[in-house]
Amino acid sequence: MRRSNLALVLRHVRDAGPRSRARIAVETGLNRGTVSSLVAELIDRGLVREGVVERGGSVGRPGQAVELDGRGIGGIGVEINVDYVTAVVLDLTDAVVFEHRVALDVQALPADAVLDAVTELAIRALAACDEQDITAVGLTLAVPALVDTDDGVVAFAPNLHWKDVDAVGGLRRRLDRKGFAVQVDNDANLAALAEFAMGSRAGTADLVYLTGETGVGGGVMVDGRLLRGAAGFSGEIGHMPLNPGGDLCGCGRRGCWETMVGLAALLRMAATPDDPVCDPSLDLEQRLKMLSDRAGAGDPRVLDALTLVGEALGLGASILVNVFNPRVLVLGGYFASLGDHLLGPMLAELHARVIAPDACEVALSTLGFTAAARGGAHVALEAVLDDPTLVALRHTP
Ligand SMILES: [Zn+2]
């Protein structure tokens, strides 16, 4: 009972922001004395702290506000992508305390070797936590795949060439840390959760996230909740068949949206195969910068490619907007890096095809290529919000 009340107060302060004990009592339905005792324990666990004095509130006398702390708690997110793995550590306030990316040709390696690399990166993240006196509570792996989140199995990752890989079991064995939660989820789902928690349109209850990389993924937030579907496989928007009979997709089908707007499609149209922008051993952000510079300089081939991709992006996005009626559509991955050049043709196509007036706002993600890893770290921290007693008491006087 006390544990669930601790969780209730902690989550309320995180979601609703700094507020007085009196206000927490009114808003949670707990009595004032109970709230004071719970807050004292949360302070002792380093999860909340005394903030500024709240004046003129509608409830009770002015009082010291209680605000989220959690600087000593870390959640780790690790993203596996086609040509890199990234780790991010967030504290309970979602501040980044560690970030590192390693280039890795994932398609050329067996799954075991990739999990070895993920483990190495996780160990670096854990060491960074130790150095900063941060207790790491868990890790979430983000994978561009259909994921069975209950069993921790990557069922199918077309662009990684993975099928039925026990990612959570494999990582648990390698890390061998007791009381450390490990889970796996789809990368675009986690990125959508990151946008909802800490992106430029955070808190927007109806939000669709779209990310363009080698694969094209999406995550749909409806009424503040991630839409998962019956088996947890929703959001596979990259495989909407928008050009049946078109190019072959990584999933084995033809004409998926991904074959029109994925990174490979853009590069094929924008450059010759021997062009450095097509070289996967170079850093992706560097390659995208080269494309952006060429577009800025008026390179006709690059501009034509961006226009075609932008139009195809608007075509697919119009289906999502017609189906889900989101308040905002957030573009991530390379769609955000090259957004300045993609948005014009995309919005023209989108507005022409969306049936409802005032089609939703389209925003570029500010989380860059770390959105999925950040979402993973954020989700790993949920363990503490569900059970604040996971964090030890400090026995302050
Ligand atoms: Zn496909």
Tens of pLDDT, residue by residue over 279-288, are: 888 888 899 9
- Expressed in angstroms and rounded, the spacing between residue 388 Cα and the centre of ligand 1 is 42
| Residue 53 located in a structural domain | yes
The percent of residues above 70 in pLDDT, for the chain, comes to 96
The answer to whether the CB of 338 falls within 8 A of the CB of 288 is: yes
| Residue 394 located in a structural domain | no
- Expressed in angstroms and rounded, the spacing between residue 308 Cα and the centre of ligand 1 is 19
- Expressed in angstroms and rounded, the spacing between residue 145 Cα and the centre of ligand 1 is 12
- C-alpha distances (whole Å) from 271 to each of 304, 312, 367 are 11, 18, 27
- Expressed in angstroms and rounded, the spacing between residue 7 Cα and the centre of ligand 1 is 42
- Expressed in angstroms and rounded, the spacing between residue 250 Cα and the centre of ligand 1 is 6
Is residue 372's pLDDT more than 50? yes
Is residue 334's pLDDT more than 70? yes
Contacts of 233 (CB under 8 A, 6+ apart): 146, 155
Is residue 231's pLDDT more than 90? no
* Residue 79, pLDDT score: 97
- Expressed in angstroms and rounded, the spacing between residue 254 Cα and the centre of ligand 1 is 7
The tens digit of pLDDT for each residue in 122-166 reads 999 999 999 999 999 999 999 999 999 999 999 999 889 999 999
* Residue 62: band (very low, low, confident or very high) from pLDDT cuts 50, 70, 90: low
| CATH code (residue 31) | 1.10.10.10
Tell how far CA 239 is from the center of its chain.
20
Better pLDDT: 394 or 113: 113
- Phi then psi for residue 102, to 5 deg, are -125, 130
Is residue 58's pLDDT more than 60? no
Q: By C-alpha distance, which of 278, 215, 210 is closest to 250?
A: 215
For residues 29 and 119, give the distance between their C-alpha atoms in angstroms, rounded to a whole number: 44
| Residue 151 located in a structural domain | yes
* Residue 238: band (very low, low, confident or very high) from pLDDT cuts 50, 70, 90: very high
Residues 175 and 81 grouped into a single domain: yes
Structure tokens at 331: 């573009």
Residues 352 and 213 grouped into a single domain: yes
Give me the half-sphere count of Cα atoms (radius 13 Å) on the Cβ side of residue 241. 8
Residues 90 and 209 grouped into a single domain: no
* Residue 125, pLDDT score: 98
For residues 237 and 74, give the distance between their C-alpha atoms in angstroms, rounded to a whole number: 32
- Expressed in angstroms and rounded, the spacing between residue 290 Cα and the centre of ligand 1 is 28
- Expressed in angstroms and rounded, the spacing between residue 237 Cα and the centre of ligand 1 is 9
Residues 217 and 361 grouped into a single domain: yes
Q: By C-alpha distance, which of 204, 193, 208 is closest to 322?
A: 208
Q: Give the mean pLDDT of the chain.
A: 93
- Expressed in angstroms and rounded, the spacing between residue 130 Cα and the centre of ligand 1 is 42
- Expressed in angstroms and rounded, the spacing between residue 65 Cα and the centre of ligand 1 is 51
By residue range, what is the domain housing residue 225?
A: 200-366
For residues 191 and 297, give the distance between their C-alpha atoms in angstroms, rounded to a whole number: 32
Residues 347 and 244 grouped into a single domain: yes
The tens digit of pLDDT for each residue in 378-393 reads 999 999 999 999 888 8
Residues 227 and 134 grouped into a single domain: no
For residues 292 and 389, give the distance between their C-alpha atoms in angstroms, rounded to a whole number: 49
For residues 20 and 205, give the distance between their C-alpha atoms in angstroms, rounded to a whole number: 26
Contacts of 357 (CB under 8 A, 6+ apart): none
- C-alpha distances (whole Å) from 36 to each of 47, 72, 259 are 14, 22, 57
Residues 225 and 131 grouped into a single domain: no
* Residue 397, pLDDT score: 46
